[in-house]
Chains A and B, each alone.
Chain A
Amino acid sequence: MRTLTHLEHLEAESIHILREAVAESDRPVMLYSVGKDSSVMLHLAMKAFYPSKPPFPLLHVDTTWKFRAMYEFRDRTAHDLGVDLLVHQNPECVERGINPFSHGSAVHTDMWKTEGLKQALDLYGFDTAFGGARRDEERSRAKERVFSIRSPQHRWDPKQQRPELWNLYNVRHNQGETLRVFPLSNWTELDVWLYIHREQIPIVPLYFAAARPVVERDGTLIMVDDDRMPLAPGEVPERRSVRFRTLGCYPLTGAIDSEADTLTGIIQEMLLTTSSERQGRIIDHDSSGSMEKKKVEGYF
């Protein structure tokens, strides 16, 4: 009998997880962040339920501060694949104009993303939400379950985690509790890129190098994506060939100098460099253990 490759193993496992969650939950939804992990997760969902469409909508918890290229990609992807897309913007943030410049990255992320996500789940009554998080991303995630239960207040109680054996997932939950399900738990960043390459999965062009207007702040290259970005006196955006290793809100996402403008080129560059993926995200640098804290509070 033939042996499966590791990508075939990972694909089959993720499909199993997606189907298991859908079969046993009332109202599933897929959190769609427009990044490469979301692209892979969506691709797996298209496969898992083929020839049916995925029996759940996508939910983008928007901050209004994503790169313009991400919005274009998001809308085109939903249209091309024929899947439902829900977009939620925390109305309180819209009203108060919460932004990373005057409110700081911590408040910005908490209000738009953490609170926004909770609002959206409550608003639509979703009981199961798929997320693209991977165990290799960050130390606190190494112990995260594939099916993670949250209280009716969306809190994560590390003491109440259920043991997960074999491929048997306990999807049962009490009224009001919700599940976060991570189909990519056992994928690494390299696996994600290899799979994108093997399957030719479309990703946001920002991952590829191009000449873009950037300013350098505290050693981080920030792209000036629109005119909402306040420039310091004398600060002039310069056009540099840059790309992004990870995507988020543009004022909070650092670019790197790069000439890699093909998929194989960026994989090669990634493998030859040795700084970890989340380093480009300013959220993790706020305080030590900050991811852990955000998770307890309900951040995905």
Chain B
Amino acid sequence: MAHAVDETLATDIEAYLTRHERKTMLRFITCGSVDDGKSTLIGRLLYDSKLVFEDHLASLEADSKKVGTQGGDLDFALLVDGLAAEREQGITIDVAYRFFSTDGRKFVVADTPGHEQYTRNMVTGASTASLAVILVDARKGVLTQTRRHSFLVSLLGIRHIVLAVNKLDLVGFSQSVFEGIEADYRAFAAEIGLHDIAAIPLSALRGDNVTTPSANTPWYGGPTLIEHLETVPVDEASGADAFRMPVQWVNRPDLDFRGVSGQIAGGSVRPGDPVKVLPAGRSSTVARLVTADGDLDEAVQGQSVTVTLADDVDVSRGDVLAAAAAAPSVADQFEAHVVWMSDHEMLPGRPYLLKLGTRTVGATLAQPKYKVNVNTLEHVAAKVLTLNEIGVCNVNLDRPVPFDPYRDNREMGGFILIDRFTNATVAAGLLHFALRRSDNVHWQAIEVHKGAHAELKGQRPCVIWFTGLSGAGKSTIANIVERKLHERGRHTYLLDGDNVRHGLSRDLGFTDADRVENIRRVAEVAGLMVDAGLIVLASFISPFRAERQLARDRVEDGEFVEVYVDTPLAVAEARDPKGLYGKARRGELVNFTGIDSPYEEPEDPEVHVDAARLSAEEAADRVIEHLRRSGVIG
């Protein structure tokens, strides 16, 4: 609970409730480390807003005596600092949300710890905030971490900054110290595009200028922190923004009603407004704005509504309803900032899922153009992104999506990336602009199409993909299968490590990133050969599910046959036909699958051969049998 008690509460409850029901809301983030007094400041805000309960207060008093750092005085940091307990309980230390309110406003504070996983947590907390309180220790001034916090805040599109110069009591409430820090900060902030800055001299510990003006800073004429938070404008959007509504759900209770439900992500809308449905681009007019409390004359950004259209146009989840006169662009290739949030590094070329608004599509990232050193803001060359790294990359989607640049509209330009197999959220991204290529690359109209190629050869083309450990017997089996197909008059081609690694992928090594790129190339070549009407046999360790999925997605349904050549590691290692396991065990080969690099077993392969029990000939027969049953061969 979080509320400030005032007199009208006791005397005129109705007036009190009316006033509180009209409050606005501000979401902000606090940035700084424990040493800057961040927890103390938040604890103080909660305490001074009278929102600390009696029983919480009792435990605060007890804890302050027991483990407090203030000599038995109330240690406000303990109100919010669950960190010790969190460590004991093994909980991820990340974003916590705190709530308090004053007469004029409700506040949601995103509180992120200052050390571990800093980038990931701060970006998460900043994504929903419209103001940032950046704490600086008056004794230390603007530090590297101050710059880092400010860069992340600016990247995430927060425009209002409070520079909280804390611990001013420890420098004798010196005006010149305060003004020196403010000047330093403003000079730096202007470079990264932050202009709306309110600098406030504070002592969070003693309460100076937090909720009440301090007698110790007579030279300061500005608002207290709370006064500033209560009066700063909350509308990030202006009335000039164009209407946007990502469609969440099609509302169809009966044959007479068909509405589309969503939360308005930009601008406002009225009945009669012309709108477009994107990405398809169909036009219609808003008929009604339906809510359970009756139809609305107007709905604005942030509201959740159900819209009915005048025409019976096709609309489904993932589409965007937008002002017809100012519709967003539609594209499938972008440049974006990507913030990596997973322990598993970002691999260029690996297929991920991308969620933007209410639309989820397949996506791959190109090799980063650069990554940003968040401490120096320097651009650094990078092949991959690892946990907490921020880079700029091109993003390729498997379908076009409507979008606005992130700086214009957070909800139309912010996305998350999801791992296709673990379903974890692995990254956040901010779209900047569509790549020109997206508009200019047109498929060459091909007159002799895929079906014609296949028809001439009298066969059904497909990819037969052999996966398994090194030494599992993939190539041996693939060779026999190809021979048998050849004997039946089928047109085939066998791709394997030997003929690919020496040419097509000569420039690649065996890091995870290079393995992904190698398989991407092979999948692409296999796909082209299928277009040419061939039956392609591909024999690659291909250790990652995601890349095998990519190869599968490259061709049509039914054209991909995954053959899992299942040989236990011990058996493959005992065979060791090329002596590679020996080298890997001796440390002469690194990133060797099964030794120091993982193999992800297929979950549902078309053919699973137990290669430890079957001979290569028998295994090949299993594959042929599958091809016959599925109609690839007669």
User: Residues on A close to B: CB < 8 A?
Assistant: 1-13, 15-16, 19-20, 22-23, 46-53, 135-136, 139-140, 142-143, 158-168, 170, 172-174, 185-186, 188-191, 194, 197-198, 264-265, 267-268, 270-272, 274-277, 279, 289, 292
Which residue of chain B is the closest to A265 with respect to CB atoms?
Answer: B13
Known: A170-B416, A276-B55, A279-B55. A52 touches B251 (CB 8 A): yes
Q: Is the CB of B251 within 8 A of A275?
A: no
Is A5 touching B21 in the complex (CB atoms < 8 A)?
Answer: yes
Choose one: A135, A267, A271, A276; the contact of B5 (CB below 8 Å). A271
Knowing A1-B301, A170-B423 touch, does A198 contact B355 (C-beta < 8 A)?
no
B99-A186 in contact (CB<8A): yes
Chain A residues within an 8 Å CB radius of B17: 194, 197, 264, 267
CB distance A48 to B418 under 8 Å?
Answer: no
Asked if B353 contacts A172 (CB within 8 A), the reply is: yes
Q: Which of A6, A46, A189, A268 contacts B13 (CB 8 A)?
A: A268
B286 to chain A, nearest CB (A): 17
- Nearest-CB residue, chain A, relative to B238: A1
Q: B239 contacts A164, CB within 8 Å?
A: no
Contacts of A19 in B (CB 8 A): 248-249, 261-262, 304
Report 26 cross-chain contacts, Cβ distance below 8 Å, ordered by A residue: A3-B234, A4-B24, A4-B303, A7-B23, A8-B302, A12-B303, A13-B304, A20-B248, A20-B358, A47-B291, A47-B292, A48-B261, A51-B292, A142-B82, A142-B98, A163-B120, A165-B124, A166-B410, A185-B97, A188-B1, A190-B101, A197-B17, A267-B17, A268-B16, A271-B5, A279-B53
Q: How far is the CA of A168 from the CA of B261 in the complex (A)?
A: 16
With A172-B418, A198-B21, A292-B89 in contact, do A51 and B425 touch (Cβ < 8 Å)?
no
Chain B residues positioned under 8 Å from A158 (CB to CB)? 89-92
> Which of A5, A135, A159, A276 contacts B53, CB < 8 Å?
A276
Instruction: Apart from A166-B411, A274-B57, list 7 A-B contacts with CB within 8 A.
Output: A5-B21, A6-B23, A165-B128, A165-B414, A168-B416, A172-B353, A198-B21
Q: Cα distance A65–B227 when bound, in Å?
A: 48
Asked whether, in the complex, the Cβ of A136 is within 8 Å of the Cβ of B249, the reply is: no
Residues on the B chain within 8 Å of A49, using CB: 249, 251, 261
A51 touches B257 (CB 8 A): yes
Q: Is B415 at the interface (CB under 8 A from chain A)?
A: yes
Complex Cα–Cα for A114 and B119 (A)? 36
Q: How far is the CB of A120 from chain B (nearest CB, A)?
A: 24
Residue of A at shortest CB range from B97? A135
How far apart sit A6 and B304, CA to CA, in the bound complex (Å)? 14
Residue among A46, A140, A270 with the highest chain B CB neighbour number at 10 A: A140
Q: Nearest chain B CB to A266's CB is how many angstroms away?
A: 10
In contact, B251 and A163 (Cβ under 8 angstroms)? no
Chain B residues positioned under 8 Å from A23 (CB to CB)? 248-249, 317, 358
- The answer to whether A276 and B290 touch across the interface, beta carbons within 8 angstroms, is no
Size bracket of the B interface: 35 or more
The 6 closest A-B pairs by CB, nearest first: A276-B53, A6-B25, A50-B292, A15-B304, A52-B253, A165-B127
Given the interface contacts A168-B415, A267-B13, does A5 sit within 8 Å of B24 by beta carbon?
Answer: yes
Contacting residues, chain B, for A264 (C-beta < 8 A): 13-14, 17
Closest to A2 in B: B300
Identify A188's interface contact among B101, B302, B424, CB under 8 A.
B101
Contacts of A194 in B (CB 8 A): 17, 20-21
On whether the beta carbons of B263 and A12 are closer than 8 Å, the reply is: yes
How far is it, in angstroms, between the C-alpha of A98 and the C-alpha of B586 when the chains are bound? 62
Complex: A46 Cα to B291 Cα, angstroms: 10
In contact, A9 and B302 (Cβ under 8 angstroms): yes
Q: Within the complex, what minimum Cβ distance (angstroms) separates A196 from chain B?
A: 11
Q: What residue of chain B has the Cβ atom nearest to residue A5's Cβ?
A: B22
Cβ contacts under 8 Å, A1 to chain B: 235, 237-239, 267-268, 300-301
Interface of B with A (CB < 8 Å)? 1-3, 5, 9-10, 13-14, 16-17, 20-25, 53-57, 82, 85, 89-92, 94-99, 101, 105-106, 108, 120-121, 123-124, 127-128, 234-235, 237-239, 248-249, 251-253, 257, 259, 261-263, 267-268, 290-293, 300-304, 306, 317, 341, 353, 355-356, 358, 410-411, 414-416, 418, 422-425, 428
Complex contact B304–A3 (CB within 8 A): no
Instruction: Check A189 against B25 for contact (C-beta < 8 Å).
Output: no
> Which residue from chain A places its CB closest to the CB of B124 in the assembled complex?
A163
With contact pairs A23-B248, A189-B1 given, residues A159 and B90 touching in the complex (Cβ less than 8 Å): yes
Query: A189 CA to B100 CA in the complex, in Å?
Result: 11
Give the complex CA separation of A140 and B355 in angstroms: 29
B127 touches which one: A143, A162, A166 (CB < 8 A)? A166
Taken together as a complex, chains A and B put the C-alpha atoms of A135 and B428 apart, in Å, by 24
Question: A1-B235, A166-B127 are known contacts. Are A186 and B108 too (CB-CB below 8 A)?
Answer: yes
Contact of B101 with A289 in the complex, beta carbons under 8 Å: no
Q: Taking the nearest CB of chain A, how far is it from the CB of B304, in angstroms?
A: 4
Interfacial chain A residues near B9, Cβ < 8 Å = 268, 271-272
A20 to B249, CA, bound (A): 8
Contacts of A163 in B (CB 8 A): 94-95, 120-121, 123-124, 341, 425, 428
- Say how far A51's CB is from chain B's closest CB, in angstroms: 5
* Closest Cβ–Cβ distance, residue A271 to chain B (whole Å): 5
Task: Contact check, B3 vs A271: say whether CB atoms are below 8 A apart.
Answer: yes
Considering the chains assembled together, what is the distance between the CA atoms of A4 and B428 in angstroms? 27
**Bound form: Cα–Cα A20–B317 in Å:** 10
Query: Min CB distance, A35 to chain B, in Å?
Result: 16
How many Å lie between the Cα of A279 and that of B58 in the bound state?
13
